[in-house]
């Protein structure tokens, strides 16, 4: 009996230690994700206003604490490596941008902003055939994503409500399909789309919060 009780107690201790280790790992992971989210948000604001070097420092800090982090504050899921690549791209460091964006693509082939910026990077670096393929994939993916959320989600109504971004995407895809590429125009259009998609994250969230607040006040009345 004593031996059996000792075995049970030993198993309980092992289970408790394993549970503690699991909880500790979960807590550390959650803390790292929280830190990464804050760094990415700070970096985003710098990237939007053109402070690419400062943005890069924030994104690299996020990747250091949580290399698998993907933005969880928006339905547009960009990895930290996408942001790093975009900051390098904005700084004119094309080799570093390509490496980061290829890593983002390898982690999630449906990260369409990563695909777009990888294509832009390759095009600016003289590898236009490969670049064109990535640009087309990125633009087509963003177009499909915007259409999907518009027709299938409540929050989709707040994304690109006047369809300005979608019209620019369609214009660039039509140029690619026509095979007469004005590269300067295509690259400028791709950069504009990437910038506007990033800004739309904050605009859509603002309008969604406003709508929810108005609905809440209406129910009170």
pLDDT of res. 145: 98
Rounded-to-integer distance, Cα 53 and Cα 189, Å: 23
pLDDT of res. 64: 96
pLDDT of res. 214: 83
Q: Which two tokens stand for residue 28?
A: 């550390």
CATH number for the segment(s) 36-212: 1.25.40.10
The answer to whether the CB of 77 falls within 8 A of the CB of 111 is: yes
pLDDT tens for 128-176 read 999 999 999 999 999 999 999 999 999 999 999 999 999 999 999 999 9
In sequence order, the 6+-apart residues with CB closer than 8 A to the CB of 99 are 85
pLDDT of res. 1: 53
pLDDT of res. 2: 52
pLDDT of res. 213: 87
pLDDT of res. 96: 98
pLDDT of res. 30: 54
pLDDT one digit per residue (tens) for the chain, 221 residues: 555 444 444 455 444 444 334 434 343 445 777 799 999 999 999 999 999 999 999 999 999 999 999 998 899 999 999 999 999 999 999 999 999 999 999 999 999 999 999 999 999 999 999 999 999 999 999 999 999 999 999 999 999 999 999 999 999 999 999 978 999 999 999 999 999 999 999 999 999 999 988 877 666 65
**Cα 22 from chain centroid (whole Å):** 28
Position of tokens 């549970």? 19
Rounded-to-integer distance, Cα 201 and Cα 206, Å: 9
pLDDT of res. 95: 98
Rg (CA), the chain: 22
Task: Give domain limits for the chain.
Answer: 36-212
């Amino acid at each position: 009996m004593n031996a059996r009780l000792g075995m049970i107690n030993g198993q309980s201790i092992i289970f408790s230690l394993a549970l503690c280790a699991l909880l500790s790992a979960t807590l550390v992971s959650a803390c790292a994700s929280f830190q990464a989210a804050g760094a990415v948000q700070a970096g985003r604001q710098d990237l939007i206003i053109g402070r690419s070097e400062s943005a890069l420092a924030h994104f690299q800090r996020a990747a250091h604490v949580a290399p698998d982090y993907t933005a969880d504050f928006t339905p547009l899921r960009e990895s930290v490596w996408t942001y790093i690549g975009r900051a390098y791209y904005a700084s004119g460091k094309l080799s570093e941008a390509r490496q980061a964006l290829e890593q983002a693509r390898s982690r999630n082939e449906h990260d369409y902003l990563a695909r777009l910026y990888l294509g832009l990077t390759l095009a600016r670096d003289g590898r236009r055939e490969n670049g064109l393929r990535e640009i087309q994939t990125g633009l087509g993916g963003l177009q499909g994503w915007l259409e999907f959320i518009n027709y299938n989600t409540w929050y989709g109504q707040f994304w690109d409500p006047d369809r300005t971004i979608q019209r620019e995407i369609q214009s660039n895809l039509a140029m690619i399909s026509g095979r007469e590429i004005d590269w300067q125009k295509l690259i400028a259009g791709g950069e504009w789309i990437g910038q506007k998609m990033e800004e739309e994250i904050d605009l859509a969230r603002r309008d969604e919060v406003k709508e929810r607040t108005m609905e809440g006040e209406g129910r009170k009345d």
